[in-house]
């Protein structure tokens, strides 16, 4: 689905995450998270200069790199993501595709960031403290090898 254009920007607080084929029955897993970061692409320049040219350095595009996606949510007792990282810890890294979907106020999809060949690289449990009045949060970090927006190659 192509992005839905409108003159006012979308709010960043309504989104969902879909990861393909990591549940025990092979179905897509949808998750609600309170935070998502790491939708970054970096192309570091390579500096180059010929000895016969002026003192100006040429800059040519280098490798493209994709930042790990970090997802945070309150603990709800769902072990699907834990089982996914457990597979990797047992020597069977399960690479898969997934998407972060931005929703409008009516919860309609307006934009989709898709990642490919993703696998869990870090899982962080909650910080527990009997003196605090906070939600127990967990986080999942996903390494991946490609990011696209609504199917446009990346």
pLDDT in tens, 58-101: 999 999 999 999 999 999 888 888 999 999 999 999 999 999 99
User: Which residue range(s) make up the domain with 105?
Assistant: 15-43+58-149
Entry pTM = 0.87
Report if residue 1 sits inside a domain: no
Cα(24)–Cα(83) distance, rounded to whole angstroms?
Answer: 9
Report if residue 6 sits inside a domain: no
Cα(122)–Cα(48) distance, rounded to whole angstroms?
Answer: 37
φ/ψ bin of 77: left (φ > 0), alpha (ψ from -120 to 50), beta (otherwise): left
Q: Which of 22-26, 28-32, 135-139 ranks highest by mean pLDDT?
A: 135-139
Please count the structural domains in the chain.
Answer: 1
Beta bridge partners of 148: 114
pLDDT-derived band at 153 (thresholds 50, 70, 90) equals low
Report if residue 102 sits inside a domain: yes
CATH number, residue 137? 2.30.110.20
């Amino acid at each position: 689905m192509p992005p839905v254009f409108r003159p006012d920007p979308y709010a960043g607080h309504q989104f969902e995450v879909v990861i393909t084929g990591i549940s025990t029955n092979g179905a897509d897993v949808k998750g609600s998270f309170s935070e998502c970061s790491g939708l970054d692409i970096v192309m570091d320049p390579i500096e180059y200069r010929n000895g016969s040219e002026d003192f100006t350095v040429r800059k040519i595009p280098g490798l493209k790199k994709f930042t790990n996606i970090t997802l945070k949510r309150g603990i709800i007792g769902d072990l699907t993501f834990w089982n996914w990282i457990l597979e990797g810890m047992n020597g069977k890294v399960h690479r898969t595709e997934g998407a972060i979907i931005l929703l409008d106020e009516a919860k309609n999809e307006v934009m989709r960031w898709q990642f490919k060949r993703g696998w869990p690289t870090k899982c962080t449990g909650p910080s527990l403290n009997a003196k605090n009045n906070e939600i127990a949060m967990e986080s999942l970090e996903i390494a991946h090898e490609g990011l696209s927006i609504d199917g446009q190659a990346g």
